Amino acid sequence: MSKILNFIVFLIVSFFILIEFNGFLEIERFSSRIKVRAFLAQDANPNSLSLKIKKEEGIQECTLISKEKALREFKRGFTRLPGVGQEESEVFLQEVGENPFPASFKISLKSEYRNPAYLDSLKYSLMALPRINKVIYGKEWAQNIWTISKYFRMASYGIGGLLFFLFIFTLIITLKQRFLILKDRYKSLQEVGVSKWKLRLKFSLRNLIENLVLSALTILATYYIWSLLLLPRLNWSLFLPINFIATFIGGCGFLSFLISLVITRRI
Protein backbone atom coordinates (compact mmCIF):
# COMPACT_ATOMS: atom_id res chain seq x y z
CA MET A 1 0.00 0.00 0.00
CA SER A 2 2.83 2.41 0.89
CA LYS A 3 4.48 1.82 -2.50
CA ILE A 4 1.24 2.63 -4.31
CA LEU A 5 0.83 5.84 -2.29
CA ASN A 6 4.42 6.86 -3.03
CA PHE A 7 3.94 6.09 -6.71
CA ILE A 8 0.82 8.28 -6.89
CA VAL A 9 2.55 11.20 -5.16
CA PHE A 10 5.67 10.77 -7.33
CA LEU A 11 3.44 10.78 -10.42
CA ILE A 12 1.67 13.99 -9.34
CA VAL A 13 5.01 15.70 -8.67
CA SER A 14 6.55 14.54 -11.96
CA PHE A 15 3.51 15.79 -13.91
CA PHE A 16 3.70 19.13 -12.16
CA ILE A 17 7.40 19.45 -13.05
CA LEU A 18 6.59 18.50 -16.65
CA ILE A 19 3.77 21.06 -16.96
CA GLU A 20 5.89 23.73 -15.28
CA PHE A 21 8.82 23.00 -17.62
CA ASN A 22 6.62 23.24 -20.73
CA GLY A 23 4.92 26.38 -19.39
CA PHE A 24 8.21 28.23 -18.95
CA LEU A 25 9.33 26.91 -22.34
CA GLU A 26 6.27 28.46 -24.00
CA ILE A 27 6.69 31.75 -22.15
CA GLU A 28 10.34 31.87 -23.24
CA ARG A 29 9.30 31.13 -26.84
CA PHE A 30 6.76 33.96 -26.88
CA SER A 31 8.98 36.43 -25.04
CA SER A 32 11.79 35.81 -27.55
CA ARG A 33 9.55 37.52 -30.14
CA ILE A 34 9.91 40.82 -28.29
CA LYS A 35 12.12 42.95 -30.52
CA VAL A 36 13.20 46.57 -30.34
CA ARG A 37 13.49 48.45 -33.64
CA ALA A 38 15.71 51.53 -33.83
CA PHE A 39 15.36 53.55 -37.07
CA LEU A 40 18.39 55.45 -38.32
CA ALA A 41 18.82 58.83 -39.97
CA GLN A 42 20.01 58.88 -43.59
CA ASP A 43 23.55 59.97 -42.67
CA ALA A 44 23.92 57.64 -39.65
CA ASN A 45 27.04 55.53 -39.19
CA PRO A 46 25.67 51.98 -38.57
CA ASN A 47 28.99 50.50 -37.44
CA SER A 48 29.57 53.15 -34.78
CA LEU A 49 25.96 52.96 -33.55
CA SER A 50 26.04 49.16 -33.45
CA LEU A 51 29.06 49.20 -31.11
CA LYS A 52 27.32 51.67 -28.79
CA ILE A 53 24.06 49.70 -28.75
CA LYS A 54 25.83 46.43 -27.96
CA LYS A 55 27.33 48.05 -24.87
CA GLU A 56 23.83 48.43 -23.42
CA GLU A 57 23.09 45.95 -20.65
CA GLY A 58 20.68 43.20 -21.68
CA ILE A 59 21.33 43.26 -25.44
CA GLN A 60 21.52 39.77 -26.91
CA GLU A 61 21.79 40.62 -30.60
CA CYS A 62 21.77 43.75 -32.72
CA THR A 63 21.14 43.20 -36.44
CA LEU A 64 21.33 45.91 -39.10
CA ILE A 65 18.37 46.02 -41.50
CA SER A 66 19.47 48.01 -44.56
CA LYS A 67 17.12 50.15 -46.63
CA GLU A 68 17.17 47.51 -49.37
CA LYS A 69 16.36 44.68 -46.95
CA ALA A 70 13.58 46.74 -45.36
CA LEU A 71 12.06 47.21 -48.83
CA ARG A 72 12.26 43.47 -49.54
CA GLU A 73 10.59 42.72 -46.20
CA PHE A 74 7.81 45.17 -47.02
CA LYS A 75 7.26 43.61 -50.45
CA ARG A 76 7.11 40.14 -48.94
CA GLY A 77 4.59 41.21 -46.31
CA PHE A 78 2.56 43.42 -48.66
CA THR A 79 2.02 40.68 -51.26
CA ARG A 80 0.68 38.37 -48.53
CA LEU A 81 -2.23 40.71 -47.81
CA PRO A 82 -5.64 39.49 -49.05
CA GLY A 83 -6.26 40.55 -52.65
CA VAL A 84 -2.75 41.92 -53.15
CA GLY A 85 -0.38 40.30 -55.63
CA GLN A 86 3.03 41.08 -57.10
CA GLU A 87 1.52 43.41 -59.70
CA GLU A 88 -0.38 45.50 -57.13
CA SER A 89 2.75 45.67 -55.01
CA GLU A 90 4.84 47.00 -57.91
CA VAL A 91 2.19 49.63 -58.78
CA PHE A 92 2.09 50.80 -55.17
CA LEU A 93 5.88 51.09 -54.98
CA GLN A 94 6.02 53.00 -58.27
CA GLU A 95 3.55 55.54 -56.89
CA VAL A 96 5.61 55.86 -53.69
CA GLY A 97 8.74 56.46 -55.74
CA GLU A 98 12.18 56.18 -54.18
CA ASN A 99 12.71 53.61 -51.42
CA PRO A 100 11.01 55.32 -48.42
CA PHE A 101 12.24 52.88 -45.78
CA PRO A 102 15.08 53.91 -43.45
CA ALA A 103 17.81 51.58 -42.28
CA SER A 104 17.25 50.22 -38.78
CA PHE A 105 18.55 47.93 -36.08
CA LYS A 106 16.52 44.92 -34.98
CA ILE A 107 17.47 44.32 -31.35
CA SER A 108 16.75 41.17 -29.36
CA LEU A 109 17.13 41.01 -25.59
CA LYS A 110 18.39 38.50 -23.06
CA SER A 111 15.62 36.57 -21.36
CA GLU A 112 15.84 38.30 -17.96
CA TYR A 113 15.62 41.77 -19.55
CA ARG A 114 12.36 41.28 -21.47
CA ASN A 115 10.25 43.34 -19.10
CA PRO A 116 8.40 46.66 -19.60
CA ALA A 117 10.62 48.65 -17.20
CA TYR A 118 13.83 47.70 -18.99
CA LEU A 119 12.28 48.18 -22.43
CA ASP A 120 11.22 51.73 -21.56
CA SER A 121 14.68 52.45 -20.15
CA LEU A 122 16.34 51.03 -23.26
CA LYS A 123 14.11 53.12 -25.53
CA TYR A 124 15.23 56.36 -23.84
CA SER A 125 18.88 55.24 -23.92
CA LEU A 126 18.70 54.52 -27.65
CA MET A 127 16.90 57.78 -28.42
CA ALA A 128 19.76 59.60 -26.70
CA LEU A 129 22.22 58.20 -29.24
CA PRO A 130 23.01 60.45 -32.24
CA ARG A 131 21.31 59.80 -35.58
CA ILE A 132 18.60 57.51 -34.21
CA ASN A 133 15.24 58.99 -35.22
CA LYS A 134 12.76 56.58 -33.70
CA VAL A 135 12.61 53.53 -31.42
CA ILE A 136 9.60 51.21 -31.29
CA TYR A 137 8.69 47.90 -29.67
CA GLY A 138 5.50 45.99 -28.95
CA LYS A 139 4.80 47.57 -25.56
CA GLU A 140 1.41 45.90 -25.05
CA TRP A 141 2.76 42.51 -26.15
CA ALA A 142 5.73 42.83 -23.78
CA GLN A 143 3.46 43.86 -20.90
CA ASN A 144 1.13 40.89 -21.47
CA ILE A 145 3.99 38.38 -21.68
CA TRP A 146 5.64 39.82 -18.55
CA THR A 147 2.35 39.66 -16.60
CA ILE A 148 1.68 36.07 -17.65
CA SER A 149 5.25 35.13 -16.76
CA LYS A 150 5.00 36.78 -13.32
CA TYR A 151 1.76 35.07 -12.33
CA PHE A 152 2.80 31.72 -13.79
CA ARG A 153 6.02 31.88 -11.76
CA MET A 154 4.11 32.79 -8.58
CA ALA A 155 1.65 29.93 -9.14
CA SER A 156 4.42 27.44 -9.89
CA TYR A 157 6.33 28.40 -6.71
CA GLY A 158 3.17 28.19 -4.59
CA ILE A 159 1.91 24.88 -5.97
CA GLY A 160 5.46 23.52 -6.10
CA GLY A 161 5.94 24.31 -2.41
CA LEU A 162 2.71 22.54 -1.46
CA LEU A 163 3.61 19.50 -3.56
CA PHE A 164 7.08 19.35 -2.03
CA PHE A 165 5.49 19.37 1.44
CA LEU A 166 3.10 16.59 0.33
CA PHE A 167 6.05 14.68 -1.13
CA ILE A 168 8.08 14.88 2.11
CA PHE A 169 5.04 14.17 4.31
CA THR A 170 4.14 11.06 2.28
CA LEU A 171 7.70 9.74 2.46
CA ILE A 172 7.83 10.27 6.22
CA ILE A 173 4.47 8.52 6.80
CA THR A 174 5.18 5.53 4.54
CA LEU A 175 8.77 5.03 5.78
CA LYS A 176 7.72 5.38 9.42
CA GLN A 177 4.97 2.82 8.86
CA ARG A 178 7.47 0.42 7.31
CA PHE A 179 9.92 0.97 10.16
CA LEU A 180 7.28 0.28 12.84
CA ILE A 181 6.55 -3.06 11.17
CA LEU A 182 10.25 -4.01 11.28
CA LYS A 183 11.15 -2.34 14.59
CA ASP A 184 10.70 -5.45 16.80
CA ARG A 185 12.73 -7.53 14.36
CA TYR A 186 15.56 -5.00 14.42
CA LYS A 187 15.57 -4.97 18.23
CA SER A 188 15.89 -8.75 18.22
CA LEU A 189 18.83 -8.52 15.84
CA GLN A 190 20.47 -5.96 18.12
CA GLU A 191 20.18 -8.37 21.02
CA VAL A 192 22.20 -10.97 19.12
CA GLY A 193 25.00 -8.50 18.37
CA VAL A 194 24.02 -6.74 15.11
CA SER A 195 25.12 -3.10 15.37
CA LYS A 196 22.58 -0.27 15.36
CA TRP A 197 24.32 1.51 12.47
CA LYS A 198 24.30 -1.62 10.36
CA LEU A 199 20.53 -1.98 10.83
CA ARG A 200 19.93 1.71 10.10
CA LEU A 201 22.07 1.56 7.00
CA LYS A 202 20.37 -1.62 5.77
CA PHE A 203 16.91 -0.06 6.20
CA SER A 204 17.96 3.22 4.56
CA LEU A 205 19.69 1.58 1.58
CA ARG A 206 16.69 -0.65 0.98
CA ASN A 207 14.40 2.39 0.84
CA LEU A 208 16.92 4.26 -1.32
CA ILE A 209 16.96 1.49 -3.94
CA GLU A 210 13.18 0.97 -3.86
CA ASN A 211 12.43 4.66 -4.33
CA LEU A 212 15.04 5.02 -7.08
CA VAL A 213 13.29 2.23 -8.96
CA LEU A 214 9.84 3.62 -8.12
CA SER A 215 10.73 7.13 -9.30
CA ALA A 216 12.21 5.72 -12.54
CA LEU A 217 8.96 3.81 -13.14
CA THR A 218 7.09 7.05 -12.42
CA ILE A 219 9.05 8.84 -15.15
CA LEU A 220 8.21 6.04 -17.61
CA ALA A 221 4.52 6.23 -16.65
CA THR A 222 4.58 10.03 -17.01
CA TYR A 223 6.17 9.75 -20.44
CA TYR A 224 3.59 7.18 -21.54
CA ILE A 225 0.62 9.28 -20.36
CA TRP A 226 2.17 12.43 -21.86
CA SER A 227 2.62 10.66 -25.20
CA LEU A 228 -1.05 9.63 -25.17
CA LEU A 229 -2.09 13.22 -24.52
CA LEU A 230 0.15 14.75 -27.21
CA LEU A 231 -0.10 11.88 -29.73
CA PRO A 232 2.18 12.54 -32.74
CA ARG A 233 3.35 15.91 -31.38
CA LEU A 234 5.43 14.27 -28.65
CA ASN A 235 9.17 14.61 -28.83
CA TRP A 236 11.91 14.79 -26.20
CA SER A 237 12.06 18.58 -26.42
CA LEU A 238 8.54 18.67 -24.95
CA PHE A 239 9.31 16.05 -22.33
CA LEU A 240 11.70 16.60 -19.43
CA PRO A 241 15.39 16.89 -20.34
CA ILE A 242 17.82 14.31 -18.97
CA ASN A 243 19.13 16.57 -16.18
CA PHE A 244 15.57 17.10 -14.87
CA ILE A 245 14.91 13.36 -14.93
CA ALA A 246 18.20 12.56 -13.18
CA THR A 247 17.52 15.21 -10.51
CA PHE A 248 14.00 13.88 -9.88
CA ILE A 249 15.10 10.23 -9.58
CA GLY A 250 18.18 11.10 -7.52
CA GLY A 251 16.16 13.42 -5.28
CA CYS A 252 13.55 10.75 -4.55
CA GLY A 253 16.26 8.27 -3.63
CA PHE A 254 18.35 10.71 -1.57
CA LEU A 255 15.38 12.05 0.43
CA SER A 256 14.10 8.55 1.20
CA PHE A 257 17.62 7.59 2.39
CA LEU A 258 17.91 10.71 4.55
CA ILE A 259 14.43 10.34 6.08
CA SER A 260 15.11 6.66 6.75
CA LEU A 261 18.26 7.54 8.73
CA VAL A 262 16.31 10.08 10.79
CA ILE A 263 13.40 7.70 11.47
CA THR A 264 15.70 4.87 12.62
CA ARG A 265 17.76 6.99 15.04
CA ARG A 266 15.84 5.43 17.99
CA ILE A 267 16.09 1.71 17.27
Query: Given this model, what pLDDT does residue 38 score?
Result: 94
Q: Any residues with CB less than 8 A from the CB of 111 and at least 6 apart, and which?
A: 28, 31, 32
**pLDDT classification of 200: cutoffs 50, 70, 90:** confident
Q: What is the pLDDT of residues 98-144, one digit of tens each?
A: 777 889 999 999 988 999 999 999 999 999 999 999 999 988 888 99
Tell me the pLDDT band of 187, cut-offs 50, 70 and 90: low
Average confidence (pLDDT) over 231-254: 77
Of 50-59, 72-81, 168-177, minimum mean pLDDT range: 72-81
**pLDDT tens-digit profile of 157-185?**
999 999 999 999 999 999 888 887 776 67
pLDDT: which is higher, 66 or 233 = 66
Is the distance from CB of 237 to CB of 157 less than 8 angstroms? Answer: no
Q: Which domains does the chain have, with CATH numbers?
A: 2-28+154-266 (no CATH), 33-144 (3.30.70.3040)
With 60 as the cut, is the pLDDT of residue 221 above it?
A: yes
